[in-house]
Amino acid sequence: MKILAFAATNHKNSINKQLVTHATEVLKTDLAEDADVEIIDLNDYEMPIFSPERETEGGVPDLAHKFFNKIGVADAVIISFAEYNGNYTVAYKNIFDWASRIQMKVFQDKKVMHMSGSIGPGGGANVLRVANDSAPFFGSDLKASFSVGPFSEKFDSKKGAFADPELAQTLRSSLKALVA
């Protein structure tokens, strides 16, 4: 099984990068040792801000095609959303907008797992609601979704693992649903 994973942010030291990395480690260690996991960094997909004029003038950027194709060759996708002002980060939204110009079903009917970590107690619940509610429209076969907050109390960054046993179990259950 080929898994594509990423934090939906361009913040280099994001807690959501820690979260998605931990999730892939648990997946490989506990559930699917033979899984081929690729973690991508959205900084590698930086493009001009989407606009219809830019699309008309220059077409869809090659990086949008590269991102879309990464999803296309994966069997499943794990996304950890950072929440900025209750919504997606601009970095993710821009890549997503460009990819949607290739095909509205950006996730190409792949199995998807959503997560979010935040410093506050809401755990990114607002961005998860946006992502979960829109998932069917963009070709996501959403298998699981959960949030972590406050992240620093629930996740031990030094160990790279959950300090909260309930969240560790939620992660495993979510990953099982993804690879089933």
Which of 130, 127, 48 lies closest to 91, judged by CA? Answer: 48
Helix (H, G, I), strand (E, B) or coil at 136: helix
CA distances from 65 to 46, 50, 73, 94, 101 (A): 12, 14, 12, 13, 10
Confidence of residue 81 (pLDDT cuts 50, 70, 90): very high
Q: Which fold, 2-179?
A: Rossmann fold (3.40.50)
Q: What is the pLDDT of residues 4-52, one digit of tens each?
A: 999 999 999 999 999 999 999 999 999 999 999 999 999 999 999 999 9
pLDDT score at 74: 98
In this structure, what token pair is assigned to residue 176? 């099982």
Mean pLDDT confidence for 99-126: 97
pLDDT of residue 111: 98
Domain ranges of the chain: 2-179
Quote the pLDDT of residue 82.
Answer: 98
Which pLDDT does position 176 carry in this prediction?
A: 98
The 10s digit of each residue's pLDDT in 128-173 is 999 999 999 999 999 999 999 999 999 999 999 999 999 999 999 9
pLDDT at 46: 98
- Other CB atoms within a 10 A radius of the CB of residue 162 amount to 20
Asked if 74 contacts 4 with a C-beta cutoff of 8 angstroms, the reply is yes
pTM of the full predicted structure?
A: 0.97
Closest CA to 63 of 109, 24, 95, 97: 95
b/e string for 67-92 if b means 16 or more Cβ within 10 A? bbebbeebebbbbbbbbbeeebbebb
Question: CA dist 75 to 42, 70, 135, 140, Å?
Answer: 19, 10, 16, 12
Q: pLDDT band at 101, cuts 50/70/90?
A: very high
Rounded Cα distance, 38 and 168, in Å: 22
Rounded CA-CA distance 28/5 in Å is 13
